[in-house]
Amino acid sequence: MRSPVPARSTAYYALALIAGTNLVSLLDRNILAILAPAIKADLEIGDAEMGLLYGTVFALFYALFSLPLGRLADGWIRTKLLAITIGFWSLATGGAALATGFFTLMLSRLCVGIGEAASQPAGTSLAYDYFPREKRGMVMAVMAAAIAIGLGGSLIIGGVAAQWWDARYATGIAPLGLKGWQFAFAMAALPGFLIAFLMSRLAEPERGAIDGISTPPDPHPFRASVTLLGSVTPGFHWLGFAQARASGRAWLRNIGLIALIILAAALAARWAEALSPRPPLLLGGIAIRPHVVQWSVIGFGAIVILNLIQSLKRRDPVACALIIHNPSLLLCIAAGSLQGVINYGVMGFTPSFLMQSYGLSPAETGMQFGLLSAALGVIGPLIAGPLSDRIGAHRLSRRVWVALFAMGLSPLIALWVYRAGDAAGFYLRFTLYSLILTMWMPPLYAVLFEQVLPRMRGLTVSLYIVVSTIFGLGIGPYAVGMISDARGGDLGGAILSINWVAPLLVLLLLALLRRVERDHASLLHRARSAGEAV
């Protein structure tokens, strides 16, 4: 009889590939940060528009497609799913090399978002079937470290490749007429194809066996995935309502809440236009104001979340009972989303801040800041993951304390970092800041995924991705860019402004400390009460 615990060598090889997936995901996602000044100059756009490209456009499709792809990860072969999607987003990243305007670059970014939507649900679910519970803090630390290497690597590859290409063809015509930033996108796409090939040859472990909760294969995973996409996509979701013969009260609740979301989005767009007026963008030949695009996307995402909750309650009441009605899980999602506002807002514009404030070149910024942030991003999680395993293996509240330390202290240090007088002072201060900041992810994620059954982990990751992407990635970079434009290009002040969400974040974590042990202890009881056979 085959052991439910995979061989150690196989498990660590699988973890290396999953980490590699995270690495190339962040490499392709974040390279826009170092290329922003060149893209702004070439396409004649501002910081708010760069925030749209870096965050909002990517966030919408990443969040929307994480739901069906997360559902597919819960029922299909995760290694094949990852291999296909990694190849797709690598092609999309390479396609940015051919972008000649805002609209074509936007198309590339949204396709990257679609492909990368599978990386976290499938990757996390796969990793949890290779390692037992007492090793999962380490697993999340390795995955977080890979994210940091991808972030740093994006700055190094983007800065060095773009500057080298522009210098090489400064006095001549470059092949295909490519600019340096376009060449950098082509280089960033290459590693993904190797990871996709290796992932396609990785064996799929038995789902849930390592936890003693073996899960039978889903007979129709693609049908369930498409159905889920239709059930959350605004407009199409009403077909599901009609098919399910939803009550009049459910129809009124859905339509009423959608109307409120649309009203809120319209008011936010008017407020943003008054605060930081921007010229219209040409999207497919149609002139649309950037703030309208931004808040339409956020509104669309909020409707997707609303539809997801109502659909989950109708189609999988057990999952709804264990996810939507679990205060600790919801607090984890809310805290991670607010931290995403800070992280994405800071990292999306820090390279531009360094070049603007200290006169650094793209290559200097990429090598110096890229190497530093990658190294610190590895060290922080590798400290926090094993530390949270050691002190919190049997008490999840101790993991929360590690997250609270990192997420509560780092915004205070940021006030000191972004007022440094020179680049050397910035890097010295940033070392302490980043070391503490990067410690939040392993403990918080470990707490999040212990709140559900194995068959629901992909869906849980997808829900987390939708909320944190729409309200974290979707708002953080845009808010920093908008504030910068309103202040005449003051990126330092704009980056510091985004840290004012930290007090609310701390309150959420304090509430999590009071709930987490009680909610985790009642998991199996609540599952049985809801009808789950465990």
Global pTM value: 0.77
What is the separation of C-alpha 402 from the centre of its chain, rounded to a whole number of angstroms? Answer: 21
Which residues contact residue 525 at a Cβ distance below 8 angstroms, ignoring those fewer than 6 apart?
A: none
State the residue for tokens 């997250």: 403
What are the angstrom distances between the C-alpha of 341 and each of 113, 306, 426? Answer: 18, 20, 22
Q: Where are the alpha helices (DSSP H) in 6-97?
A: 8-43, 47-51, 58-75, 78-95
Amino acid identity, residue 487? Answer: R
> Do residues 128 and 458 make contact, with C-beta atoms less than 8 angstroms apart?
no
Classify 176 in phi/psi space as left (phi over 0), alpha (psi -120 to 50) or beta. left
DSSP summary character for residue 499: G
Is 4 in a helix, a strand, or coil? coil
pLDDT at residue number 392: 66
> Do residues 272 and 294 make contact, with C-beta atoms less than 8 angstroms apart?
yes
Q: Report, as ranges of residue numbers, the positions in the chain whose pLDDT lies below 70.
A: 1-6, 172, 211, 213-214, 282-285, 392-393, 458, 530-534
Beta strands in 126-199 (DSSP E): none
State the residue for tokens 């199996």: 524
pLDDT at residue number 457: 73
| pLDDT tens digits, one per residue of 363-404 | 888 889 888 888 887 788 778 777 777 776 677 888 889 889
DSSP per-residue letters across 341-385: HHHHHHHHHHHHHHHHHH---HHHHHHHHHHHHHHHHHHHHHHHH
CA distance 393 to 140: 14
pLDDT at residue number 292: 87
SS in 3 state form for 97-124? HHCCCHHHHHHHHHHHHHHHCCHHHHHH
pLDDT at residue number 354: 92
Amino acid identity, residue 225? Answer: S
Domain limits of the chain? 8-203+218-529
pLDDT at residue number 335: 94
May I ask the CATH architecture of the domain 8-203+218-529?
Up-down Bundle (1.20)
Amino acid identity, residue 423? Answer: A
| pLDDT tens digits, one per residue of 86-111 | 999 999 999 998 888 888 888 999 89
CA distance 228 to 294: 25
Q: What does the block give as tokens for 362?
A: 């793209």
Beta bridge partners of 283: 286
pLDDT at residue number 1: 40
